Structure 1
């Protein structure tokens, strides 16, 4: 019987908190601060990945242009390295989005409503949505959307710098050769190298421009009228 009583107490604890507005407000406040801290932690992990990408880029470009004898393909190795960091950051972004979406639920339906009760809550079933997410945490966005987001925000710019640097390195340091000949790597013809590089960047453009509905919750974006809107 004592075990049954303890089990019943644990089961009813949340229900009792739900009936007491003061205790529930305190618990929600602690939960919001916890989710905000976890969101900040994952945000810093995204920044760390970007920092490593920029650092590696700087080191590779410095070495590649330090001497005409250094092989040009080291810049393409940098492209592969930055692409790997893009994949890592996209996976981290999916985790970051989980906590960001919870924080936005709190902000839209608790904080905003407390400051301006006249407009009501943004989502009528926000407590059910948040409760389900706590019971069964799930990733909110696909890896495709995560990669697309990180490409648009920073990585396509980084990869474009590497591509332009590679083209400049190949043409400027070998003025007497045609582009296909200068782009060759060992026994691999330059035409094959150029085709591979072009295909890679073509895939990146497809990922960026491919039309799809945004699944990520509440990001600032510009509307067609040119105004910033929180709802991407």
Structure 2
């Protein structure tokens, strides 16, 4: 017996554009949005876990270094400066992860604001062209959060307190727990690096951290969208 069913032709326009039919059918479209929302929410959760893991590493390392540095008077003070370097490395890793995380979070927020929120209370959508913008982002995903903003937000959340605690502990280690009788500048020396250079370098570093942390700027995280008349879409 011959099979009279037509063969599937993936090159035909009807098959290629099969998903486009959902745009004209409300029930199909809402069902598709539910699946898309669950997928993007899963990605968001996965990258949120990665961010939390980096934060945990930084906190555990800071606590371990503080415990070790003050466990004996013979501990070198520069071990706390090594901790500052390591925390800064973790900050860079986490800022990169935060920028990728915001790609998926921005999509989730678009769906929540324009589909689910409007279904619960139909006062109107937040972005009039949200379907067009979401479609473009699915086709060409883009990082929406500038690197400086990502670093600033992670500093505000966790890394500025960690760096401050390590530097404060280093100052206490040089002063209160120093038994050498030398001045603070002399005690701050690290190997062949003079104390003046160490203090100046740390001062400049901390000033830079303060500026990046608290400098006011327009927040672009969350993939904030705007109306079609706004030329600042998804920068």
Tell whether the structures are fold-level matches, with TM greater than 0.5.
yes
Q: Please, which of 182, 189, 211 is the counterpart of residue 206 of structure 1?
A: 211
CA apart distance, 1:211: 2.9
Q: Which runs of 5+ in 1 are unaligned?
A: 220-232
- Are positions 1:149 and 2:169 aligned together? no
1:171-220 per-position Cα deviation (integer Å, ceiling 9, x unaligned):
1221522210111112211111111111110110111232322111279x
Q: Please, which of 176, 180, 185 is the counterpart of residue 190 of structure 2?
A: 185
3-state secondary structure, aligned to 1:6? coil
CA apart distance, 1:71: 0.7
- Are positions 1:36 and 2:41 aligned together? yes
Greater helix content: 1
1:14-73 per-position Cα deviation (integer Å, ceiling 9, x unaligned):
221112211111110010011111111111111000000011111211111111111100
Q: Which runs of 5+ in 2 are unaligned?
A: 1-6, 225-235
What is the rounded CA distance, in whole Å, between the counterparts of 1:133 and 1:61 in structure 2? 45
What is the rounded CA distance, in whole Å, between the counterparts of 2:194 and 2:15 in structure 1? 70
What is the rounded CA distance, in whole Å, between the counterparts of 1:65 and 1:7 in structure 2? 72
What is the rounded CA distance, in whole Å, between the counterparts of 1:197 and 1:156 in structure 2? 14
Runs of 4+ in 1 over 4 A off after TM superposition: 2-5
Question: Which shows bigger deviation, 202-211 or 2-11?
Answer: 2-11
TM-score by length of 2: 0.88
Aligned equivalent of 2:124:
120
TM-score by length of 1: 0.89
Alignment length, in residue pairs? 217
Q: Please, which of 53, 62, 71 is the counterpart of residue 58 of structure 2?
A: 53
